[in-house]
Structure 1
Amino acid sequence: MEWRKSSRSGSTSNCVELRQDLSAIRDSKRPDVALPLSRSAVRHLVTTLR
């Protein structure tokens, strides 16, 4: 599964990445550990952070 990071992160590795299917998030510094979330929880998080 592919991961994407915010376009505001630039080329740094200090960012939170979102799984393409919206089922998990992870810290780019620790790509081996992901936090699984429901799609609705991820949407709510993204909406809140904007």
Structure 2
Amino acid sequence: MTTTENDIKKPAAPPKKDDKQERLAARLRENLRKRKEQARGREKDEQQV
């Protein structure tokens, strides 16, 4: 029996320590984007009145 690359089990990659920080940073960026969008909407409303 011969061994192929698929037969060789590779160790699982350890979880990144920065995963939590990356997720937090992404949520903060999304939050900031939404807040800017809301502010632009309010500015438009004020200009129309």
Q: Of the two, which has the highest radius of gyration? A: 2
Compare the two structures and name the one with the higher strand fraction.
Answer: 1
Compare the two structures and name the one with the higher helix fraction.
Answer: 2
1 or 2 for the larger relative contact order (CA 8 Å, sep ≥6)?
1
Q: TM-score range by the shorter chain?
A: under 0.3
